[in-house]
Chains A and B, each alone.
Chain A
Amino acid sequence: MRLALGIWMSLVIAGAFLYAPPAQGFRSPEAARIVFFHVPTAMVAVIAFVVSVIYAVKFLAGRAAMDDAKSATSAGLGFLFAGLATATGSIFAYTQWGMAWNWDPREISIFVLLLIYAAYFALRSAVEGDERRAALSATYNIVAFIAMPFLVFVMPRVMESLHPSETLVSRAGLSIQYRIVLYSAAVGFVGLYVWIFRLQTAIVEYALNRRQN
């Protein structure tokens, strides 16, 4: 499985450069290839925040320390992938719009999202006592999660944005080559997320068991 992911992602990278044609209609058609990494990282960030809130709710219901650890791990990965989406987006914005950052609605929304989750980690590091920290951060996580869909899915569509909004779902949006590479990249990034998530939770579980024994 892991080996398959290694080969899969290598093929995705090769496909992004060699299989997909230069994107027509872009200022720098070759640089548009960065969307193969930009869009999936943003997707995975959303998935990670969803997983995080699921474990937060699970923790509040059952008070298992592992659920809190999983929630925090997934929030951390969501933050990482959101950061990657911001970085790749910023590079793309520089070539396409001429500015690395120009407060486009989606740039504002991811900036606010990063701030919200940065506050989550600040909260986690500020509270003493495992049980209390877990309960408080799980509650905060749920509040943060309520804001997330508005920031990610609603606000950029309501406000005028330079970002396209229906490209992925509309039939005319992307050529077949772009679709194949983009969705394959999304699958690869989800696989990468799952792998890191499981590794990190295994490490936390080991640490928790050691502390108890």
Chain B
Amino acid sequence: MSELVAFMIAPLVCWIALFIYLWWLHARVSRLLR
């Protein structure tokens, strides 16, 4: 179980990083288009 949790952390961290990046990009693009 603990090993599974450890394996889960990598994709979760990757997803959160990608999400934050896209959020930031979205904000920037919205500002540009305004």
The answer on a CB contact under 8 Å between B29 and A203 is yes
A202 at interface by CB-CB < 8 Å: yes
A211 within 8 A of B: no
Are B29 and A17 in contact (CB-based, < 8 A)?
no
Contact among A10, A195, A202 for B15, CB-based, below 8 A: A10
Secondary structure at the B interface, as helix, strand, loop or mixed, is: helix
A10 & B29 in contact (Cβ 8 Å cutoff): no
Chain B neighbourhood of A9, CB < 8 A: 15, 19
Q: Tell me the bound Cα distance from A176 to B29 in angstroms.
A: 40
> Which residues of chain A come closer than 8 Å to B33, judged between CB atoms?
202, 205-206
Closest residue on chain B to residue A196 by CB atoms? B22
Give how many A-B residue pairs fall within 8 Å (CB-CB): 43
Given contacts A10-B12, A10-B16, contact A17 B22 (CB under 8 A): no
Question: What secondary structure prevails in chain A residues at the interface with B?
Answer: helix
How many residues belonging to A are interface residues under a CB distance threshold of 8 Å?
19
Contacts A6-B19, A17-B4 given; indicate if A206 touches B29 (C-beta within 8 A).
Answer: yes
Q: How far is the CA of A203 from the CA of B33 in the complex (A)?
A: 9
CB <8 Å contact, A202 and B8 = no
28 A-B residue pairs with Cβ-Cβ distance under 8 Å, sorted by A, are A2-B22, A2-B23, A6-B16, A6-B19, A6-B23, A9-B15, A9-B19, A10-B12, A10-B15, A10-B16, A13-B8, A13-B11, A13-B12, A13-B15, A16-B8, A17-B4, A17-B5, A17-B8, A18-B4, A18-B5, A18-B8, A37-B11, A195-B22, A199-B26, A199-B29, A203-B29, A205-B33, A206-B33
The 3 A-B pairs with the shortest beta carbon distances in the complex, nearest first, are A17-B8, A6-B19, A202-B29
